[in-house]
Amino acid sequence: MTVHLYAHDLPDDLKLGPVVAIDCESMGLHPHRDRLCVVQLSDGNGHAHLVQVARDIQPAPNLARLLTDPDTLKLFHFGRFDIALLRHSYGVTTAPVYCTKIASKLVRTYTDRHGLKNLLTELLGVDISKQQQSSDWGAAKLTQAQQDYAASDVLYLHRLRDILDAMLEREGRSDLAQRCFDFLPTRAELDLTGWPDIDIFSH
């Protein structure tokens, strides 16, 4: 595993291919209150690219271009939060997207454990540490443990997607999953605009 750390934005010459795994680290779980601290990305080839975001967020044109590129599929685990946080931070709508948590909930109906650690253990036989999950991501200097943790959240999403896609196909739910993925940026926007815990489709 190789981890590359950048400040503010991705480098101009970085090419990550047509499918990019993305995750975010923040100061908490409320996009309006808790700022974005790190965006981590991987092309699925064992390399992770981390963008450290300053408290006064600087423009990130290369990252924004990738997030909005219609020809680049963005892989997330619980993309609802990350997409909302990226929209709040950079003012862009991330699309098209794929969420391994949604895929898992559609096909792994035999369990209520859909966290990334659970998925990786069961489907890939990979055990990742969550020890740094609650650490101070707003620190001026990220520790090596934080960098390794951030990388682990994106390094396996490509392989995970392949397995989940096969399960979705087997259970006849691929089309339903795709429609959920397509709606995800809208769900994230609803979260930001005041409907995070309200089901607007209920009576």
pLDDT computed for residue 130 by the predictor: 73
Least Cα distance to 104 among 75, 73, 144 occurs for 75
Structure tokens given for 134:
């609650």
The span from the CA of 27 to the CA of 133, in Å, is: 10
Please report the domains of the chain, with CATH numbers, ordered by start residue.
2-192 (3.30.420.10)
Q: Read off the pLDDT of residues 24-65 as tens digits, 9 standing for 90 and up.
A: 999 999 999 999 999 999 999 999 999 999 999 999 999 999
Question: Based on the number of CB atoms within 10 Å of its own CB, is 167 exposed (0-12), middle (13-18) or buried (19 or more)?
Answer: middle
Low-confidence ranges of the chain (pLDDT < 70): 131-132
Q: Read off the pLDDT of residues 125-140 as tens digits, 9 standing for 90 and up.
A: 999 877 667 789 999 9
The span from the CA of 103 to the CA of 155, in Å, is: 18
Cross-sheet strand order for the sheet of 19-26? 2-7, 47-52, 36-42, 19-26, 73-76, 97-99
Percent over 70 (pLDDT), the chain:
99
C-beta separation of 2 from 48 below 8 A: yes
C-beta separation of 4 from 49 below 8 A: yes
The span from the CA of 25 to the CA of 2, in Å, is: 19
In the beta sheet, which residues pair with residue 21? Answer: 42, 75
The span from the CA of 102 to the CA of 99, in Å, is: 5
In the beta sheet, which residues pair with residue 22? Answer: 41
Q: Beta-carbon neighbour count of residue 161 at 10 Å?
A: 20
> Cis link prior to 96 (omega < 30° from 0)?
yes
By DSSP bridging, strand 47-52 and strand 36-42 are: antiparallel
pLDDT computed for residue 132 by the predictor: 67
The structure's pTM equals 0.95
